[in-house]
């Protein structure tokens, strides 16, 4: 029997999730809800499902809920679905406030539903293969992780105002990837940043668009993250694992393997896949497949509520470090 899904949120990422649910083995998209009724109806029409009149209504009709609404509603909807006993796949972050995440955690204590946070990069075939190869000892003992993560372009100005800042909004993916790759907890965080792409991001919002982070784990492993809100050559997503006996790089993806040669260049490839919808298309499908498998097999999900919490703790630590100019002990945050 296919698991019946309710999709909450029919924005850009919701539309994508709807298509993936419609084609996923073992899933059926039952209903969608969005306060923007036209958006919900368009998704319902394209994927042959019903439109619900409220989130509660949608949750009622389903076995599992995919939460793709705006960040501010995530925690409420998790609580709603958890109390209704429905499995939950929720886009990251759980919330921008650590306190709210802690309250949510408390509120759903005892609800035995599977919860998976939308850390899509954990399910990217290349990143996953990198972690597996590392876990299999292919590079000996892991010593350094270097994460390069640059978006193709600045988000709309309105988004920046409510994003919670680059560390909570964008770097949070990389904090999760760092934990996933380190297979260990960072204990110290140093972070700094600049507003180079758009200086008014700094002057108006006190935010950065270019950041660098160093983290250290209890046993001394080192991890570097760099971010930019704008890469002219496409979505720049690279992970490097350096170990005692080798190195693994999970490199960028292109639409195809064309190379151009001429009087001024050789080996020139196309710009990278533009953004997360394209770059992580397979990852998004795989995260749904993994979620379905976790429900079916009664096993823990591969990106838990606690993973969502831990990534946010690292983001908090980064915010604090960038403010004070000191490395922050993670245990002082949460």
Within 221-260, which residues bind a copy of itself (CB under 8 A)? 221-222, 224, 226, 228, 230-234, 236, 242, 244-260
Smallest distance, Å, CB 102 to a copy of itself? 27
Among 37, 129, 161, 162, binds a copy of itself (CB under 8 A): 129
Report the candidate in 121, 219, 126, 209 with the shortest Cα–Cα distance to residue 167.
209
Closest CA to 95 of 76, 108, 81, 82: 76
Q: 3-state class of 5 per DSSP?
A: strand
Q: Which stretch binds a copy of itself (CB under 8 A): 34-42, 114-122, 211-219, 301-309?
A: 211-219
Residue number with CB closer to a copy of itself (84 or 222): 222
CA dihedral 161, 166, 170, 174 (to 10 degrees): -160
Smallest separation, CB 247 to a copy of itself (Å): 4
Least spacing, CB of residue 319 vs a copy of itself, in Å: 15
Q: Please give the size of the binding site for a copy of itself, defined by CB under 8 A.
A: 75
CB of 288 to a copy of itself, least distance (A): 15
Work out how close the CB of 125 gets to a copy of itself at its nearest, in angstroms, rounded to a whole number.
4
Decide whether 246 or 300 has the Cβ nearer to a copy of itself: 246
Residue 148 vs 171, nearer CB to a copy of itself: 148
Contacts of 116 (CB under 8 A, 6+ apart): 88, 89, 90, 287, 290, 291, 294, 301, 302, 303, 304
Footprint of a copy of itself on 303-332 (CB under 8 A): 325-327
Of 27, 7, 32, the residue nearest 294 (C-alpha):
27
Query: In the range 37-96, which residues lie near a copy of itself by CB under 8 A?
Result: none
Determine the Cα–Cα distance for residues 283 and 290; give it in Å rounded to an integer: 10
Q: Decide if residue 130 touches a copy of itself (CB under 8 A).
A: yes
- What DSSP designation does 79 have? H
How would you classify the pairing of strands 236-243 and 142-150? antiparallel
Rounded alpha-carbon distances, angstroms, from residue 244 to 8, 137, 316? 45, 10, 31
**Contact yes or no for 254/272 (Cβ under 8 A):** yes
Query: Taking CB under 8 A as the rule, does residue 262 contact a copy of itself?
Result: yes
Instruction: Please pick, from the candidates 16, 113, 197, 277, the single residue that binds a copy of itself as defined by CB under 8 A.
Output: 197
**DSSP reduced 3-state for 88:** strand
Candidates 23, 53, 54, 200: give the one binding a copy of itself (CB under 8 A): 23
Instruction: Looking at residues 91 to 120 of the shown chain, list those that interact with a copy of itself (rule: CB under 8 A).
Output: none
Q: How far is CA 206 from the centre of its chain?
A: 23
Task: Tell the smallest beta-carbon distance from residue 88 to a copy of itself (Å).
Answer: 27
Residues 132 to 151: which contact a copy of itself by CB under 8 A?
A: 133, 138-141, 143-144, 146, 148, 150
* Crossing angle between the packed helical segments 37-47 and 12-23, to the nearest 10 degrees: 20
């Amino acid at each position: 029997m296919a698991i019946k899904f309710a999709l909450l949120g029919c924005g850009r990422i919701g539309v994508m999730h709807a298509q993936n649910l419609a084609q996923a083995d073992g899933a059926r998209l039952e209903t969608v809800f969005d306060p923007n009724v036209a958006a919900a109806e368009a998704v319902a029409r394209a994927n042959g499902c019903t439109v619900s009149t409220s989130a509660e209504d949608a949750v009622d009709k389903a076995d599992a809920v995919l939460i793709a609404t705006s960040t501010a509603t995530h925690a409420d909807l998790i609580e709603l679905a958890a109390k209704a006993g429905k499995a939950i796949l929720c886009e990251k972050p759980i919330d921008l406030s650590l306190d709210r995440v802690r309250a949510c955690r408390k509120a759903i204590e005892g609800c035995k539903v599977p919860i998976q946070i939308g850390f899509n990069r954990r399910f990217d075939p290349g990143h996953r293969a990198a972690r597996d190869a590392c876990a299999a000892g292919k590079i000996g003992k892991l010593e350094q992780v270097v994460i390069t993560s640059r978006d193709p372009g600045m988000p709309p100005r309105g988004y920046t105002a409510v994003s919670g800042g680059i560390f909570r909004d964008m770097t949070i993916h990389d904090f999760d990837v760092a934990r996933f790759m380190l297979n260990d907890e960072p204990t110290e965080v140093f972070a700094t940043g600049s507003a180079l792409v758009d200086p008014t991001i700094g002057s108006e919002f006190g935010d950065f668009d270019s950041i660098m982070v160093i983290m250290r784990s209890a046993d001394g492993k080192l991890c570097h993250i760099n971010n930019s809100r704008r890469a002219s050559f496409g979505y720049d997503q690279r992970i490097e694992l350096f170990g005692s006996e080798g190195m693994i790089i999970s490199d960028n993806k292109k639409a195809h393997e064309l190379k151009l040669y001429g009087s001024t260049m050789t080996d020139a490839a196309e710009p990278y896949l533009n953004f997360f919808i394209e770059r992580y298309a397979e990852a998004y499908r795989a995260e749904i497949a993994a979620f379905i498998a976790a429900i079916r097999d009664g096993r823990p999900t591969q990106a838990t509520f606690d993973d969502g919490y831990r990534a946010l703790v690292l983001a908090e630590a980064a915010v604090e470090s960038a403010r004070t100019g000191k490395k922050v002990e993670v245990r002082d945050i949460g």
